[in-house]
Structure 1
Amino acid sequence: MPLLTELILALRRHWPYYLAEAVGLGVFMLSSSLLTLALEHPASGLHQALVAQGAGEMLRRVPLGVGMGLVIVGLAYHPWGKRSGAHINPAVTLAFWQLGKMRRADVFWYILAQAGGGLAAALLLKAGLGTYLGHPRINFTVTQPGPDGAALAFAAEFGISFVLMLVLLLTLHSARLKKASGWFIGALITGYIIWETPYSGMSLNPARSLASAVAARNFADLWLYLVAPPTAMGLATALFQRLHPVRAADPGRAGESAGESPHYPNPAP
């Protein structure tokens, strides 16, 4: 089947799944921006109260990490998240394609939807709260290398992405842990935000970093966040395939049943 025909047919059949992916990343961007604004903007009452109690940057990242971890869990187990698989990350989508769990047309639309949802949310937030989100302490939640430089940031992004994908695949393919896979990922996100953020800004997600960069008009070191997560997740997937061979999805399906797993899509007609 010609690629263009395949893309058109996929869009007609599976558009609700693509919409779910766009909304998912939009919700993530909205939550991240508002939580960061409340915790870090000098005019925020919550920020002032935490600082008055002696809470430094790391302690202020604890509620941010817990909050975003719960957002991820909510997206994973929400009916819309279960429907699309709640990837909300091009690197995750590419990894599932590598596993043979998705067709190329679905991969194209998933990634386009993720990028579009993230950009729409970032630009809407800028239009409504740009004065506050543009503050240097917020900077539209742009992901940037820490003071130790881009090389360490790349290594940090690579490491956290590799571990996250390996944990996701191991839990999804465990009869005992499969239903809790979203909670495992939420816990990892929480820990990463608390402890890894100073090194790379904690992205894991090319679409999330692109959206923030466009809103801030700051593309310095963006390549790092476009390259490290997909590369690391691809290598983690290759390692998993060697240790645990996975049967490819049937040709007529884009993925496994969302009822069996909150992270594999099931846009079968």
Structure 2
Amino acid sequence: MAKFALGHHSEATDAGCVRAVLAEAVLTFLFVFSGVGSAMAAGRLAGGADTIMGLTAVALAHAMVVAVMVSAGLHVSGGNINPAVTLSLTAGGHITLFRSALYVLAQLLGSSLACLLLAFLTGGAVTMPVHALAAGVGAPQGVLWEAVLTFSLLFTVYATVVDPRRSIGNLGPLLVGFVVGANVLAGGPFSGASMNPARSFGPALASANWASQWVYWVGPMIGGPLAGLVYEGLFMVRPGHQQLPSDGNDF
């Protein structure tokens, strides 16, 4: 989630850009392979991903793999692994529009390849877990669920990774993983807690099941950029800005 220079017209041939795009494809592949694979395993070993044991296992797997993949890619591409993260950082001026488009394509490709490989490796013995709305949860509620959960995710990204004033050192990716796991526990039984259009796209493609797919694009693409705009507008301190004294004796 590093800041890239704006207006770089030679990005298409820039070696750093190529490496970053390839990294996004690989990182997203590994993230989705573990994330979707854990959901498939929970369906077989924990009595179903809809049980508390299965849901906890899936949440823990997502928390761990997100933390590791963001850490692994932070110095190469920023470790976005999520179109909602990429769009939010683009809206905040941290990534160029050209590079963000390449990132999203790479993320969708990585997710698709991961799910197609999982489908092949399981031989059809396990149903591909496609994000879907729970009974009684309509499309508007699903969009709102995904928007709020993604807002939570991106707010954490900005506070622990993007903001240069962060005071937690290199723990940002781990904390991002924690909030993903917590959100899976909170929203999984209702909307599936995708927070990531690429994470939803791969299973839909591999299973040819596109029901409610738009929910997992609209919700995150609203919540992610909104979180970025809120943090940038209210909490980000620009260089040269003098903060108010925090010692009560200074007032």
Q: Give me the whole-angstrom Cα distance separating, in 2, the residues matched to 1:32 and 1:175.
A: 28
For 1:151 and 1:112, how far apart are their aligned partners in 2? Answer: 27
Question: Which of 31, 53, 63 is residue 69 of structure 1 equivalent to?
Answer: 63
Gaps of 5+ in 2: 1-6, 240-251
- Structure 2 letter corresponding to 1:106: R
The within-5 A match list for 1:15-26 is: 15-26=18-29
TM-score by length of 1: 0.78
Determine if the alignment matches structure 1 residue 94 to structure 2 residue 87. Answer: yes
Say if 1:20 and 1:81, in contact at 8 Å, map to a contact too: no
Q: Distance in 2 between matches of 1:205 and 1:154?
A: 12
Helix, strand or coil for the counterpart of 1:200? coil
Change (3 A) 1:68 1:56: closer
Greater RCO (Cα-Cα under 8 Å, separation 6 or more): 1
Q: SS of the residue aligned with 1:141?
A: coil
3-state DSSP of counterpart to 2:110: helix
Q: What's 1:47 paired with? A: 46
Assess if the C-alpha contact under 8 Å between 2:28 and 2:111 holds in 1.
yes
Shift of 1:82: 3.0
Residue identity matched to 1:158: A
Q: Which residue of 2 aligns with 1:193?
A: 184
Determine the C-alpha separation between the residues in 2 that align with 1:13 and 1:177: 28
Question: Per-residue deviation at 1:100?
Answer: 0.9
- What is the identity, as a one-letter code, of the residue corresponding to 2:52? M
* Mapped partners of 2:63, 2:10: distance in 1: 36
2:20 matches 1:32: no
Corresponding position: 1:238 with 2:232: no
Deviates more, 1:89-98 or 1:166-175: 166-175
Tell me, which stretches of 5 or more residues in structure 1 are unaligned?
Answer: 135-139, 249-269
Over the aligned positions, Cα root-mean-square deviation in angstroms equals 2.3
What is the CA-CA distance between 1:167 and the residue it aligns to? Answer: 1.7
In the alignment, the residues of structure 2 paired with residue 151 and residue 130 of structure 1 have an alpha-carbon distance, to the nearest angstrom, of 35
Within 1, Cα distance between the matches of 2:105 and 2:50? 38
Deviations 1:189-233 (A, max 9, x none): 111222210111111111111111111111111111111101111
Confirm or deny that 1:8 pairs with 2:12: yes
Is it true that 1:156 corresponds to 2:141 in the alignment?
Answer: no
Q: Give the length in aligned residue pairs.
A: 229
Aligned partners of 1:24 and 1:81 also within 8 Å: no
Query: Which residue of structure 1 lines up, in the alignment, with residue 242 of structure 2?
Result: none
Match of 1:128 among 112, 121, 126: 121
Distance 1:213 1:162, change over 3 A: same
Matched, 1:103 2:102: no
Matched to 1:160, the amino acid is L
Deviations along 1:65-100, one digit per CA (max 9) or x if unpaired, are 11221111111222x443111100011011111111
Which residue pairs with 2:52 in the alignment?
A: 58
- Please report how far the alpha carbon of residue 116 of structure 1 lies from its aligned counterpart in structure 2 after TM superposition: 0.8
CA contact (8 A) 1:100 1:247 kept: no
Describe the SS at the equivalent of 1:131: coil
For 2:168, the equivalent position in structure 1 comes to 177
Say which structure is richer in helix. 1
Q: Give the alignment's TM-score, normalised by structure 2.
A: 0.83
Equivalent position amino acid for 1:145 in 2: L
Q: 1:104–1:176: structure 2 CA closer, same or farther, 3 Å change rule?
A: same
Q: Which one-letter code corresponds to 1:142 in the other structure?
A: V
